[in-house]
Amino acid sequence: MSIQKLKWLYPGMLVKRWITFAVFGIFMVSMGFVVVIAEPNPQNKAMAGVVIMLGIGSVIFAVKRILRSLMTAIAPVGGMGRSDLVEKIYERRILEKGPKVVVVGGGTGLSTLLKGLKHRTSNITAIVTVADDGGSSGRLREEFGVLPPGDIRNCLVALSDSEDILGPLFQFRFTQGKGLDGHNFGNLFITALARVTGDFAKAIRESSKVLAIRGRVYPATLETVRLVARRENGVETLGECHLRDEKGSPIDRLLLDPKDCRATSESLDAIREADVIILGPGSLYTSVMPNLLIEGIQNAIVRSKAVKIYICNVMTESGETDGYSVSDHVKAIIKHTRPGIVNCCVANVSRVPKDLYERYRSEGQFPVKLDEMDEKWMKDEKITLVKSQISCAREFVRHDPEKLTEILMDVIEK
């Protein structure tokens, strides 16, 4: 007998007594059936029936106690309740049979989608941009030479099964303290793990285990990259955080520096195996496009036979997509890549409440237009247009995770 099997007999495991009780119950059932078969006296058979029932009851009780001991041991806090066990079984048996979905992007939009998508499939791979150079991520990038962890952190939390405890902890932002002010705990955690392990990809894998995520999260590349935006007036803007500073001229061309950076092998493998590839939602030039400018990812998506869906933004972004319609977003993607990278576009048709509309208008942002010209262009390009009310308008106008997921699953099934 192996050492691993003998560990069940160690003191304090709280299963030996119940295993013994279950064996005793099985013995009672066996003896009861022997008496029923061999004993001609009806009275003895009746007593044997009682013994069989007691034995079955003993086995059921013992199995329940064994399961309770195991659940208490493996649950992170306070034991695992019945509903938690049902959820785990559902995840294993149902969600693992869901479609293989690859989501490409970054920012708030990507994490919003993942929150809804994880309840329909656990075969999710998020490929996340690492071109961010502003805020907490930018500071950590400059000071420690790590890849920006912010967008990756958001995706990990969105896919986490521990949103009620660890999720808020990873999203906690320090508002005071010399050197800490403005930093997220999750960003610091991932940065520290990267320094300890010497491997940013390993730091993400270990963080995934801590947060018990459904799916996988990979950076698009492990190389340090910056965005370069060339405007129609000839002005060049360096860095993602400065991309919207120049608002007088539209973006003509977006580039990566260095332009020959390599995609992570895990990302390419996921794209090759995908049933569905989703681009966005998220900022067109700072969340979605940086991933597609990596030649390996671009080529893998174009060659893939998966359904390729682009989720268009709900609102335009000042200095980035001013005046853009739905088809303008798709045209920009094709211009920077090549035809065949999108074969379905999901666009929002919900109305924006007046108070939010006025606030966004004061910031130079407007609902993304969708008219007959957009529909005609997409029809000519053989791109399926799916129109639906997929936004929610509370404090901000954003995609609704549940509504968006329902629409996507309908598209996938069709």
* Structure confidence by residue, pLDDT tens digits, 91-126: 667 788 889 999 999 989 999 999 999 999 999 999
Q: What's the mean pLDDT in 230-257? A: 89
Are residues 8 and 120 located together in one domain of the fold? no
Mean pLDDT of the chain: 88
157 is a domain residue: no
CA 398 to CA 402: how far, in whole Å? 12
9 is a domain residue: yes
CA dihedral 266, 194, 224, 287 (to 10 degrees): 70
412 is a domain residue: yes
What percent of the chain has a predicted confidence (pLDDT) above 70?
A: 90
Are residues 88 and 65 located together in one domain of the fold? no
Least trusted range by pLDDT, from 7-16, 73-82, 318-327: 73-82
Are residues 389 and 285 located together in one domain of the fold? yes
What is the reported pLDDT for 3? 54
Q: Which residue has the higher pLDDT, 86 or 280?
A: 280
Q: How many structural domains compose the chain?
A: 2
Strand order in the sheet with 344-348: 216-219, 124-128, 101-105, 276-279, 307-311, 344-348, 384-388
Are residues 50 and 94 located together in one domain of the fold? no
What is the reported pLDDT for 79? 45
Are residues 18 and 47 located together in one domain of the fold? yes
Are residues 25 and 115 located together in one domain of the fold? no
79 is a domain residue: no
pLDDT higher than 50, residue 78? no
pTM for this prediction: 0.82
Are residues 59 and 90 located together in one domain of the fold? no
Range of the domain at 95: 84-129+261-414
Q: What's the mean pLDDT in 325-343? A: 96
Are residues 66 and 98 located together in one domain of the fold? no
Which position has the token pair 């693992």? Answer: 96
251 is a domain residue: no
